[in-house]
Chain A
Amino acid sequence: MTEWIPVPEKFIEINAKKCTGCSNCIIVCGGEVFEMKGKKAIVAHIEQCLECGNCEVACLPDAIRFRIPKGGTGIVYQCG
Protein backbone atom coordinates (compact mmCIF):
# COMPACT_ATOMS: atom_id res chain seq x y z
CA MET A 1 0.00 0.00 0.00
CA THR A 2 1.02 3.58 -0.48
CA GLU A 3 3.31 5.03 2.14
CA TRP A 4 2.47 8.35 3.76
CA ILE A 5 4.88 10.44 5.80
CA PRO A 6 2.89 12.62 8.24
CA VAL A 7 2.77 16.27 7.25
CA PRO A 8 3.31 18.58 10.22
CA GLU A 9 1.01 21.34 9.03
CA LYS A 10 -2.29 21.63 7.22
CA PHE A 11 -1.63 21.61 3.52
CA ILE A 12 -5.26 21.49 2.44
CA GLU A 13 -7.27 24.28 3.95
CA ILE A 14 -10.98 24.84 3.53
CA ASN A 15 -12.42 28.27 4.08
CA ALA A 16 -15.72 27.36 5.72
CA LYS A 17 -17.15 30.78 4.98
CA LYS A 18 -16.67 30.29 1.27
CA CYS A 19 -17.63 26.59 1.15
CA THR A 20 -21.06 26.16 -0.40
CA GLY A 21 -21.29 22.43 0.29
CA CYS A 22 -21.39 21.59 -3.42
CA SER A 23 -19.39 18.35 -2.97
CA ASN A 24 -17.13 19.05 -5.94
CA CYS A 25 -14.08 18.16 -3.85
CA ILE A 26 -15.63 14.81 -2.93
CA ILE A 27 -16.36 14.06 -6.59
CA VAL A 28 -12.86 14.66 -7.89
CA CYS A 29 -10.85 13.37 -4.95
CA GLY A 30 -9.37 10.00 -5.85
CA GLY A 31 -8.16 9.52 -2.29
CA GLU A 32 -11.52 10.09 -0.59
CA VAL A 33 -10.01 12.74 1.63
CA PHE A 34 -13.11 14.89 2.04
CA GLU A 35 -16.37 14.36 3.86
CA MET A 36 -19.43 16.50 4.42
CA LYS A 37 -20.10 17.63 7.93
CA GLY A 38 -23.29 19.56 8.28
CA LYS A 39 -23.40 21.33 4.95
CA LYS A 40 -19.69 22.00 4.69
CA ALA A 41 -16.80 19.97 3.36
CA ILE A 42 -14.11 18.94 5.82
CA VAL A 43 -10.72 17.27 5.45
CA ALA A 44 -11.41 13.89 7.04
CA HIS A 45 -8.59 11.63 5.80
CA ILE A 46 -5.60 13.76 4.98
CA GLU A 47 -3.36 10.68 5.08
CA GLN A 48 -5.10 9.41 1.93
CA CYS A 49 -4.26 12.52 -0.08
CA LEU A 50 -2.76 11.77 -3.49
CA GLU A 51 -1.49 15.37 -3.78
CA CYS A 52 -3.06 15.89 -7.17
CA GLY A 53 -4.56 19.31 -6.44
CA ASN A 54 -7.82 18.49 -8.17
CA CYS A 55 -9.73 19.72 -5.11
CA GLU A 56 -8.44 23.25 -5.54
CA VAL A 57 -9.14 23.27 -9.27
CA ALA A 58 -12.63 21.82 -8.84
CA CYS A 59 -13.61 24.13 -5.99
CA LEU A 60 -15.63 26.69 -7.90
CA PRO A 61 -16.29 28.95 -4.87
CA ASP A 62 -12.51 29.02 -4.35
CA ALA A 63 -12.73 27.78 -0.78
CA ILE A 64 -9.93 25.20 -0.97
CA ARG A 65 -6.24 26.00 -0.81
CA PHE A 66 -3.86 23.18 -1.65
CA ARG A 67 -0.16 23.62 -1.01
CA ILE A 68 2.75 21.30 -1.57
CA PRO A 69 3.41 19.50 1.75
CA LYS A 70 6.54 20.31 3.72
CA GLY A 71 9.75 18.92 2.25
CA GLY A 72 10.19 15.19 2.67
CA THR A 73 6.62 14.57 3.81
CA GLY A 74 3.36 13.41 2.29
CA ILE A 75 2.69 10.61 -0.14
CA VAL A 76 5.41 8.28 -1.35
CA TYR A 77 4.28 6.43 -4.42
CA GLN A 78 5.32 2.81 -4.34
CA CYS A 79 5.16 2.13 -8.02
CA GLY A 80 5.30 4.24 -11.08
Chain B
Amino acid sequence: MSYDVVVVGAGTNGSTAAYFLAKKGFKTLLIEQSRVPGDKCHGATEYAPGVIFANRPDLVELMKRVLKKIPHIYPGDLGRGALYYYVNKENRVIYKTHAQAPGDTWKETHGVNNQVFVKGLSEEAVKAGAELKTSTAVADVIREGNVIKGVITEKGEEIRAKLTIAADGRISTIAKKAGLLKKWDPNRCWYQYGEAWKFRSEEEMFEYVDYGRHIFFGITLTPPYPWGACTMSPRPGGIATVNAPTSWTSVATMLGAKKNSRSVYIQNLYKLMEVKRMLRPCKGFPDKPFQRQSTFMPGPPLEKPHMAGLIVCGDAAAVGGICGAGHLAAEYVIPFLEKGDVSEKALSGFAQARFARFRVGALKSDSGATIELSEFSPTRLMHWSTGAGFIEQYKCTVDEMVENMRLAGPPVILGAPSPQKVGEFGYADLGAWTIATKINYIMTMYTPYLQNPAIFPVILKWIQKNQASFNQNKIFDHPF
Protein backbone atom coordinates (compact mmCIF):
# COMPACT_ATOMS: atom_id res chain seq x y z
CA MET B 1 0.00 0.00 0.00
CA SER B 2 1.28 3.43 -0.82
CA TYR B 3 0.26 6.89 0.35
CA ASP B 4 1.36 10.47 0.05
CA VAL B 5 1.52 10.77 3.81
CA VAL B 6 1.25 8.33 6.68
CA VAL B 7 0.50 9.96 10.02
CA VAL B 8 1.26 7.78 13.01
CA GLY B 9 -0.86 8.51 16.05
CA ALA B 10 -4.44 9.77 15.90
CA GLY B 11 -4.15 12.04 18.90
CA THR B 12 -4.76 15.75 18.77
CA ASN B 13 -1.73 16.54 16.64
CA GLY B 14 -1.84 13.50 14.36
CA SER B 15 -5.55 13.93 13.65
CA THR B 16 -5.11 17.64 13.00
CA ALA B 17 -2.21 17.04 10.63
CA ALA B 18 -4.16 14.31 8.81
CA TYR B 19 -7.19 16.59 8.52
CA PHE B 20 -5.31 19.43 6.87
CA LEU B 21 -3.32 17.14 4.59
CA ALA B 22 -6.38 15.19 3.45
CA LYS B 23 -8.29 18.40 2.94
CA LYS B 24 -5.53 19.53 0.64
CA GLY B 25 -6.05 16.39 -1.41
CA PHE B 26 -3.10 14.29 -0.30
CA LYS B 27 -3.68 10.57 0.04
CA THR B 28 -3.36 10.30 3.79
CA LEU B 29 -3.35 7.34 6.16
CA LEU B 30 -3.83 7.87 9.87
CA ILE B 31 -2.66 4.99 12.06
CA GLU B 32 -3.74 4.56 15.66
CA GLN B 33 -2.67 2.00 18.24
CA SER B 34 -5.88 1.95 20.24
CA ARG B 35 -9.26 0.59 19.16
CA VAL B 36 -10.82 4.02 19.05
CA PRO B 37 -8.83 7.27 18.75
CA GLY B 38 -8.87 8.87 22.17
CA ASP B 39 -8.86 5.63 24.15
CA LYS B 40 -5.40 6.41 25.42
CA CYS B 41 -6.05 10.09 26.01
CA HIS B 42 -6.55 11.41 29.45
CA GLY B 43 -5.99 14.59 31.34
CA ALA B 44 -9.33 16.28 30.86
CA THR B 45 -8.64 19.46 29.13
CA GLU B 46 -9.72 22.99 28.64
CA TYR B 47 -9.60 24.29 25.12
CA ALA B 48 -9.66 27.96 24.23
CA PRO B 49 -8.84 27.78 20.53
CA GLY B 50 -9.91 31.32 19.78
CA VAL B 51 -7.42 32.61 22.32
CA ILE B 52 -4.55 30.24 21.83
CA PHE B 53 -4.66 30.04 18.07
CA ALA B 54 -6.09 33.44 17.27
CA ASN B 55 -3.74 33.83 14.34
CA ARG B 56 -4.71 30.48 12.83
CA PRO B 57 -8.37 30.79 11.80
CA ASP B 58 -8.45 27.47 9.97
CA LEU B 59 -7.38 25.59 13.09
CA VAL B 60 -9.78 27.51 15.30
CA GLU B 61 -12.61 26.66 12.92
CA LEU B 62 -11.76 22.96 13.05
CA MET B 63 -11.43 22.81 16.82
CA LYS B 64 -14.61 24.77 17.43
CA ARG B 65 -16.52 22.55 15.05
CA VAL B 66 -15.49 19.54 17.12
CA LEU B 67 -16.02 21.25 20.47
CA LYS B 68 -19.56 22.23 19.54
CA LYS B 69 -20.47 18.63 18.80
CA ILE B 70 -19.21 17.07 22.00
CA PRO B 71 -20.32 17.53 25.60
CA HIS B 72 -18.59 20.53 27.09
CA ILE B 73 -18.87 22.92 29.97
CA TYR B 74 -17.49 26.38 30.48
CA PRO B 75 -15.12 26.23 33.41
CA GLY B 76 -14.64 29.95 33.12
CA ASP B 77 -18.35 30.51 33.64
CA LEU B 78 -19.42 33.05 36.22
CA GLY B 79 -16.87 35.27 34.58
CA ARG B 80 -13.86 34.05 36.43
CA GLY B 81 -10.87 32.02 35.51
CA ALA B 82 -10.30 30.16 38.73
CA LEU B 83 -10.62 30.04 42.47
CA TYR B 84 -7.24 30.16 44.14
CA TYR B 85 -6.55 28.76 47.58
CA TYR B 86 -3.35 29.20 49.52
CA VAL B 87 -2.45 26.45 51.91
CA ASN B 88 -0.13 26.74 54.90
CA LYS B 89 2.24 24.26 56.44
CA GLU B 90 -0.50 22.81 58.60
CA ASN B 91 -2.50 22.01 55.49
CA ARG B 92 -5.13 24.64 56.13
CA VAL B 93 -6.46 27.07 53.58
CA ILE B 94 -5.53 30.51 54.84
CA TYR B 95 -6.37 32.65 51.85
CA LYS B 96 -8.83 32.37 49.01
CA THR B 97 -9.38 34.52 45.96
CA HIS B 98 -11.07 34.63 42.60
CA ALA B 99 -8.91 35.23 39.59
CA GLN B 100 -10.53 37.00 36.74
CA ALA B 101 -9.80 35.50 33.36
CA PRO B 102 -8.24 38.06 31.04
CA GLY B 103 -10.86 39.98 29.09
CA ASP B 104 -13.68 37.76 27.97
CA THR B 105 -11.46 34.79 27.30
CA TRP B 106 -13.51 32.65 29.67
CA LYS B 107 -16.22 32.50 27.02
CA GLU B 108 -13.72 30.76 24.78
CA THR B 109 -12.74 28.07 27.22
CA HIS B 110 -14.42 24.70 26.77
CA GLY B 111 -13.94 22.04 29.40
CA VAL B 112 -14.09 18.64 27.75
CA ASN B 113 -13.08 15.06 28.20
CA ASN B 114 -10.02 14.83 26.02
CA GLN B 115 -10.73 11.42 24.58
CA VAL B 116 -14.10 12.55 23.25
CA PHE B 117 -12.45 15.54 21.64
CA VAL B 118 -9.76 13.40 20.04
CA LYS B 119 -12.34 10.97 18.67
CA GLY B 120 -14.23 13.89 17.15
CA LEU B 121 -11.07 15.28 15.65
CA SER B 122 -10.14 11.98 14.01
CA GLU B 123 -13.67 11.78 12.57
CA GLU B 124 -13.12 15.17 10.98
CA ALA B 125 -9.90 13.87 9.42
CA VAL B 126 -11.81 10.92 7.98
CA LYS B 127 -14.53 13.19 6.64
CA ALA B 128 -11.85 15.27 4.94
CA GLY B 129 -10.70 12.14 3.13
CA ALA B 130 -8.06 10.56 5.36
CA GLU B 131 -8.09 6.83 5.86
CA LEU B 132 -8.06 5.69 9.50
CA LYS B 133 -6.51 2.43 10.64
CA THR B 134 -7.06 1.61 14.31
CA SER B 135 -5.79 -1.15 16.64
CA THR B 136 -2.50 -0.94 14.80
CA ALA B 137 0.77 -0.34 16.54
CA VAL B 138 3.79 0.61 14.48
CA ALA B 139 6.88 -1.51 15.04
CA ASP B 140 9.48 0.09 12.81
CA VAL B 141 10.20 2.47 9.98
CA ILE B 142 11.03 1.52 6.40
CA ARG B 143 14.48 2.93 5.88
CA GLU B 144 16.26 3.06 2.54
CA GLY B 145 19.65 4.61 3.04
CA ASN B 146 18.99 7.78 4.98
CA VAL B 147 15.45 8.13 3.76
CA ILE B 148 12.32 7.03 5.63
CA LYS B 149 9.88 5.47 3.18
CA GLY B 150 7.02 4.60 5.48
CA VAL B 151 6.36 2.33 8.44
CA ILE B 152 6.08 -1.34 9.30
CA THR B 153 3.21 -2.37 11.56
CA GLU B 154 3.63 -4.90 14.35
CA LYS B 155 1.95 -7.46 12.10
CA GLY B 156 4.73 -6.94 9.57
CA GLU B 157 2.67 -5.00 7.08
CA GLU B 158 4.66 -2.46 5.10
CA ILE B 159 2.96 0.88 4.58
CA ARG B 160 4.80 3.05 2.14
CA ALA B 161 4.45 6.80 1.97
CA LYS B 162 6.32 9.73 0.52
CA LEU B 163 6.27 11.34 3.94
CA THR B 164 5.84 9.93 7.44
CA ILE B 165 4.61 12.18 10.21
CA ALA B 166 5.31 10.73 13.63
CA ALA B 167 2.81 12.01 16.14
CA ASP B 168 3.02 8.87 18.22
CA GLY B 169 3.42 10.46 21.60
CA ARG B 170 6.19 10.78 24.12
CA ILE B 171 7.03 7.06 23.93
CA SER B 172 7.63 7.49 20.23
CA THR B 173 8.51 4.22 18.55
CA ILE B 174 9.27 6.04 15.32
CA ALA B 175 11.57 8.69 16.78
CA LYS B 176 13.46 5.87 18.51
CA LYS B 177 13.63 3.60 15.48
CA ALA B 178 14.70 6.48 13.27
CA GLY B 179 17.50 7.21 15.72
CA LEU B 180 16.28 10.70 16.56
CA LEU B 181 15.45 9.91 20.19
CA LYS B 182 17.43 7.78 22.60
CA LYS B 183 15.81 8.43 25.95
CA TRP B 184 14.26 11.50 27.56
CA ASP B 185 16.30 13.24 30.21
CA PRO B 186 14.56 12.83 33.59
CA ASN B 187 15.89 16.23 34.62
CA ARG B 188 13.98 17.87 31.84
CA CYS B 189 10.75 15.94 31.78
CA TRP B 190 7.94 17.30 33.88
CA TYR B 191 6.13 14.81 36.04
CA GLN B 192 2.40 14.71 36.36
CA TYR B 193 -0.06 12.63 38.27
CA GLY B 194 -3.78 13.14 38.46
CA GLU B 195 -7.06 11.48 39.28
CA ALA B 196 -10.63 11.65 38.14
CA TRP B 197 -13.58 11.42 40.51
CA LYS B 198 -17.10 10.64 39.41
CA PHE B 199 -20.27 12.12 40.84
CA ARG B 200 -23.62 10.48 40.38
CA SER B 201 -24.65 13.23 37.99
CA GLU B 202 -23.47 16.48 36.53
CA GLU B 203 -26.02 18.31 38.69
CA GLU B 204 -24.60 16.75 41.83
CA MET B 205 -21.10 17.71 40.77
CA PHE B 206 -22.00 21.35 40.29
CA GLU B 207 -23.76 21.33 43.61
CA TYR B 208 -20.51 20.36 45.31
CA VAL B 209 -17.72 21.57 43.07
CA ASP B 210 -19.20 24.65 41.45
CA TYR B 211 -18.21 25.86 38.04
CA GLY B 212 -14.65 26.98 37.60
CA ARG B 213 -11.24 25.64 38.34
CA HIS B 214 -10.07 25.35 41.90
CA ILE B 215 -6.36 25.84 42.27
CA PHE B 216 -4.57 25.09 45.49
CA PHE B 217 -1.12 26.45 46.20
CA GLY B 218 0.66 25.09 49.18
CA ILE B 219 3.88 24.14 50.73
CA THR B 220 2.93 20.55 51.34
CA LEU B 221 0.96 19.72 48.24
CA THR B 222 3.73 18.59 46.00
CA PRO B 223 6.75 17.44 47.93
CA PRO B 224 9.69 17.26 47.62
CA TYR B 225 9.35 20.85 46.56
CA PRO B 226 8.14 23.03 49.38
CA TRP B 227 5.70 24.81 47.12
CA GLY B 228 3.44 23.48 44.47
CA ALA B 229 -0.05 23.51 43.10
CA CYS B 230 -2.94 21.16 42.51
CA THR B 231 -5.93 21.93 40.38
CA MET B 232 -9.44 20.62 40.51
CA SER B 233 -11.77 21.06 37.57
CA PRO B 234 -15.32 20.03 36.79
CA ARG B 235 -15.87 18.20 33.52
CA PRO B 236 -18.85 17.04 31.50
CA GLY B 237 -20.62 13.96 32.77
CA GLY B 238 -20.10 14.66 36.47
CA ILE B 239 -16.36 14.07 36.38
CA ALA B 240 -14.05 16.16 38.53
CA THR B 241 -10.39 15.91 37.73
CA VAL B 242 -7.65 16.55 40.23
CA ASN B 243 -4.24 17.18 38.81
CA ALA B 244 -0.89 18.21 40.09
CA PRO B 245 0.48 20.19 37.15
CA THR B 246 3.89 19.46 35.86
CA SER B 247 5.17 22.93 35.93
CA TRP B 248 7.79 22.65 38.58
CA THR B 249 8.46 19.02 39.29
CA SER B 250 10.75 17.14 36.98
CA VAL B 251 10.81 13.36 36.99
CA ALA B 252 14.25 13.58 38.61
CA THR B 253 12.94 15.87 41.31
CA MET B 254 10.06 13.54 42.00
CA LEU B 255 12.56 10.81 42.76
CA GLY B 256 13.75 12.89 45.69
CA ALA B 257 10.40 12.33 47.39
CA LYS B 258 11.32 8.70 48.10
CA LYS B 259 7.64 7.83 48.30
CA ASN B 260 5.11 6.79 45.73
CA SER B 261 3.82 9.63 43.63
CA ARG B 262 0.19 9.32 44.60
CA SER B 263 0.93 9.42 48.28
CA VAL B 264 2.93 12.61 47.99
CA TYR B 265 1.13 14.34 45.19
CA ILE B 266 -2.55 14.01 45.78
CA GLN B 267 -3.02 12.67 49.26
CA ASN B 268 -1.94 15.94 50.80
CA LEU B 269 -4.58 17.74 48.82
CA TYR B 270 -7.28 15.38 50.05
CA LYS B 271 -6.47 16.35 53.62
CA LEU B 272 -7.87 19.81 53.04
CA MET B 273 -11.37 20.43 54.38
CA GLU B 274 -12.40 22.26 51.21
CA VAL B 275 -11.44 19.33 49.05
CA LYS B 276 -13.00 16.77 51.36
CA ARG B 277 -16.24 18.72 51.25
CA MET B 278 -16.23 18.92 47.48
CA LEU B 279 -15.33 15.33 46.67
CA ARG B 280 -17.14 13.65 49.55
CA PRO B 281 -20.05 12.29 47.46
CA CYS B 282 -17.72 10.54 45.04
CA LYS B 283 -17.65 6.80 45.40
CA GLY B 284 -14.38 5.54 46.86
CA PHE B 285 -13.09 8.90 48.04
CA PRO B 286 -10.29 9.35 49.00
CA ASP B 287 -8.66 5.98 48.36
CA LYS B 288 -10.16 4.62 45.17
CA PRO B 289 -10.40 7.18 42.39
CA PHE B 290 -12.55 6.51 39.34
CA GLN B 291 -9.48 6.88 37.22
CA ARG B 292 -5.79 7.48 37.73
CA GLN B 293 -3.79 9.25 35.12
CA SER B 294 -0.10 9.76 34.87
CA THR B 295 2.19 11.26 32.34
CA PHE B 296 5.29 13.28 31.82
CA MET B 297 5.86 16.20 29.56
CA PRO B 298 8.93 15.36 27.57
CA GLY B 299 11.79 17.71 27.05
CA PRO B 300 13.90 19.30 25.81
CA PRO B 301 12.62 19.47 22.22
CA LEU B 302 14.32 17.05 19.84
CA GLU B 303 17.21 18.89 18.27
CA LYS B 304 16.56 17.18 15.00
CA PRO B 305 12.85 16.46 14.53
CA HIS B 306 13.20 15.41 10.91
CA MET B 307 15.07 13.37 8.35
CA ALA B 308 14.42 12.72 4.71
CA GLY B 309 10.83 11.52 4.47
CA LEU B 310 10.08 11.99 8.17
CA ILE B 311 8.75 14.71 10.44
CA VAL B 312 8.39 14.17 14.18
CA CYS B 313 5.86 16.41 15.89
CA GLY B 314 3.90 16.81 19.08
CA ASP B 315 4.94 15.04 22.25
CA ALA B 316 7.11 12.71 20.20
CA ALA B 317 9.40 15.66 19.51
CA ALA B 318 8.69 17.36 22.85
CA VAL B 319 7.17 20.21 20.95
CA GLY B 320 3.64 19.47 21.92
CA GLY B 321 0.68 21.69 21.90
CA ILE B 322 -2.75 20.34 21.48
CA CYS B 323 -3.56 20.46 17.75
CA GLY B 324 -1.09 23.29 17.17
CA ALA B 325 1.96 21.16 16.49
CA GLY B 326 0.04 18.97 14.03
CA HIS B 327 -1.34 22.00 12.26
CA LEU B 328 2.10 23.51 12.01
CA ALA B 329 3.60 20.27 10.69
CA ALA B 330 0.94 20.02 7.98
CA GLU B 331 1.34 23.65 7.08
CA TYR B 332 5.10 23.24 6.82
CA VAL B 333 5.12 20.11 4.66
CA ILE B 334 2.32 20.96 2.23
CA PRO B 335 4.45 23.15 -0.10
CA PHE B 336 7.18 20.52 -0.16
CA LEU B 337 4.72 17.70 -0.84
CA GLU B 338 3.29 19.72 -3.70
CA LYS B 339 6.79 19.99 -5.15
CA GLY B 340 7.43 16.33 -4.40
CA ASP B 341 10.49 17.21 -2.35
CA VAL B 342 10.77 15.56 1.06
CA SER B 343 14.54 15.52 1.17
CA GLU B 344 16.52 16.13 4.33
CA LYS B 345 17.26 19.62 3.11
CA ALA B 346 13.63 20.45 2.38
CA LEU B 347 12.48 19.35 5.82
CA SER B 348 15.41 20.84 7.71
CA GLY B 349 13.58 24.12 8.18
CA PHE B 350 10.98 22.40 10.35
CA ALA B 351 13.17 22.53 13.45
CA GLN B 352 12.92 26.31 13.38
CA ALA B 353 9.44 26.60 11.92
CA ARG B 354 7.92 24.74 14.84
CA PHE B 355 8.83 27.65 17.10
CA ALA B 356 7.92 30.32 14.61
CA ARG B 357 4.44 30.87 16.02
CA PHE B 358 5.68 31.17 19.52
CA ARG B 359 5.13 34.83 20.10
CA VAL B 360 2.78 37.54 21.30
CA GLY B 361 2.24 38.25 24.93
CA ALA B 362 -0.29 37.13 27.44
CA LEU B 363 0.08 40.61 28.83
CA LYS B 364 -1.80 41.89 25.86
CA SER B 365 -4.60 39.38 25.86
CA ASP B 366 -7.03 41.88 27.34
CA SER B 367 -7.00 43.77 24.09
CA GLY B 368 -7.76 40.64 22.15
CA ALA B 369 -4.23 39.93 21.02
CA THR B 370 -3.13 36.35 20.82
CA ILE B 371 -1.36 34.04 23.16
CA GLU B 372 0.63 31.51 21.20
CA LEU B 373 2.02 28.97 23.53
CA SER B 374 1.28 25.66 22.02
CA GLU B 375 4.36 24.90 20.01
CA PHE B 376 6.51 24.63 23.01
CA SER B 377 6.07 21.70 25.26
CA PRO B 378 6.70 23.07 28.75
CA THR B 379 4.51 25.99 27.97
CA ARG B 380 1.68 24.22 26.32
CA LEU B 381 -0.58 24.11 29.31
CA MET B 382 -2.72 27.13 29.84
CA HIS B 383 -0.98 27.19 33.14
CA TRP B 384 2.16 28.32 31.39
CA SER B 385 0.41 30.86 29.27
CA THR B 386 2.63 33.57 30.59
CA GLY B 387 5.57 32.11 28.75
CA ALA B 388 4.89 33.89 25.53
CA GLY B 389 4.44 37.22 27.25
CA PHE B 390 7.57 36.68 29.20
CA ILE B 391 9.58 36.11 26.10
CA GLU B 392 8.27 39.14 24.35
CA GLN B 393 8.49 41.42 27.34
CA TYR B 394 12.02 40.57 28.29
CA LYS B 395 13.42 39.58 24.94
CA CYS B 396 14.74 36.31 26.24
CA THR B 397 14.87 33.33 23.96
CA VAL B 398 12.79 30.21 24.27
CA ASP B 399 15.92 28.34 25.27
CA GLU B 400 16.72 30.80 28.01
CA MET B 401 13.25 30.52 29.39
CA VAL B 402 13.45 26.76 29.46
CA GLU B 403 16.82 26.89 31.06
CA ASN B 404 15.33 29.07 33.77
CA MET B 405 12.58 26.58 34.31
CA ARG B 406 15.02 23.74 34.49
CA LEU B 407 17.29 25.47 36.93
CA ALA B 408 14.45 26.42 39.22
CA GLY B 409 15.55 25.53 42.70
CA PRO B 410 13.31 25.33 45.74
CA PRO B 411 10.93 28.29 45.51
CA VAL B 412 11.47 31.20 47.81
CA ILE B 413 7.91 32.32 48.28
CA LEU B 414 6.20 30.77 51.25
CA GLY B 415 2.98 31.58 52.97
CA ALA B 416 0.00 33.62 52.01
CA PRO B 417 -0.01 37.03 50.42
CA SER B 418 -0.70 39.15 53.45
CA PRO B 419 0.92 42.35 54.71
CA GLN B 420 2.29 40.44 57.68
CA LYS B 421 4.25 38.22 55.37
CA VAL B 422 6.33 40.92 53.80
CA GLY B 423 9.57 39.36 54.84
CA GLU B 424 8.64 36.00 53.49
CA PHE B 425 7.65 37.46 50.18
CA GLY B 426 10.91 39.30 50.08
CA TYR B 427 9.79 42.35 48.24
CA ALA B 428 9.45 44.83 51.06
CA ASP B 429 11.42 47.37 49.06
CA LEU B 430 8.65 47.57 46.55
CA GLY B 431 6.00 48.36 49.08
CA ALA B 432 4.43 45.12 50.07
CA TRP B 433 0.98 46.53 50.39
CA THR B 434 0.89 47.74 46.83
CA ILE B 435 2.07 44.40 45.65
CA ALA B 436 -0.40 42.55 47.80
CA THR B 437 -3.27 44.42 46.23
CA LYS B 438 -2.08 43.33 42.84
CA ILE B 439 -1.64 39.74 43.82
CA ASN B 440 -4.86 38.61 42.20
CA TYR B 441 -3.70 39.77 38.85
CA ILE B 442 -0.12 38.74 39.29
CA MET B 443 -1.10 35.28 40.45
CA THR B 444 -3.33 34.84 37.44
CA MET B 445 -0.69 35.83 35.01
CA TYR B 446 2.52 34.87 36.66
CA THR B 447 1.93 32.00 38.99
CA PRO B 448 4.61 29.73 37.57
CA TYR B 449 7.17 32.45 37.63
CA LEU B 450 6.38 33.68 41.10
CA GLN B 451 7.48 30.29 42.26
CA ASN B 452 10.62 30.32 40.25
CA PRO B 453 13.53 32.14 41.87
CA ALA B 454 15.32 32.34 38.57
CA ILE B 455 12.50 34.28 37.00
CA PHE B 456 10.93 36.04 39.95
CA PRO B 457 13.37 39.00 39.98
CA VAL B 458 12.48 39.78 36.41
CA ILE B 459 8.82 39.93 37.27
CA LEU B 460 9.58 42.24 40.13
CA LYS B 461 11.27 44.55 37.68
CA TRP B 462 8.13 44.47 35.59
CA ILE B 463 6.04 45.30 38.63
CA GLN B 464 8.35 48.17 39.54
CA LYS B 465 8.21 49.51 36.06
CA ASN B 466 4.45 49.41 35.96
CA GLN B 467 3.75 50.37 39.52
CA ALA B 468 2.55 53.86 38.60
CA SER B 469 -0.02 52.53 36.19
CA PHE B 470 -1.17 49.94 38.72
CA ASN B 471 -1.80 52.71 41.21
CA GLN B 472 -3.70 54.83 38.74
CA ASN B 473 -6.27 52.40 37.53
CA LYS B 474 -8.60 50.61 39.85
CA ILE B 475 -9.05 47.43 37.91
CA PHE B 476 -7.47 45.34 40.63
CA ASP B 477 -9.65 44.71 43.61
CA HIS B 478 -8.22 44.64 47.06
CA PRO B 479 -7.88 40.99 47.96
CA PHE B 480 -8.18 41.32 51.74
Contact = CB atoms under 8 A, between A and B. Distances in A.
B377 to A, nearest CB: 14
Given A26-B260, A27-B254, A30-B262, A69 B293 contact: no
Contacts of B296: 52-54, 57
A27 B261 contact: yes
B261 A67 contact: no
Contact of A77 (B170, B252, B293): B293
Contacts of B169: 68
Contact of B255 (A50, A58, A68, A70): A58
A31 B291 CA distance: 10
Interface string A1-24: 110010000000000000000011
B45 interface: yes
Contact of B292 (A27, A31, A54, A80): A31
A38 interface: no
B183 A24 contact: no
Given A31-B294, A52-B294, A72-B134, A79 B255 contact: no
Interface in B218-241: 235, 237, 239, 241
Interface residues of A, number: 36
A30 to B, nearest CB: 3
Contact of B237 (A23, A56, A79): A79
B260 to A, nearest CB: 6
A67 B191 CA distance: 19
B419 interface: no
A60 to B, nearest CB: 7
- For A51, A67, A79, the residue with the greatest tally of chain B CB atoms inside 10 Å of its CB is A79
Interface string A56-79: 111010100011111110111111
26 contacts: A2-B290, A27-B260, A28-B255, A28-B261, A28-B294, A51-B171, A52-B294, A67-B171, A68-B171, A69-B33, A69-B137, A70-B137, A70-B154, A71-B33, A71-B34, A75-B39, A75-B40, A76-B39, A77-B39, A77-B41, A78-B196, A79-B115, A79-B196, A79-B241, A79-B291, A80-B113
Interface of A: 1-2, 5, 23-24, 26-32, 50-54, 56-58, 60, 62, 66-72, 74-80
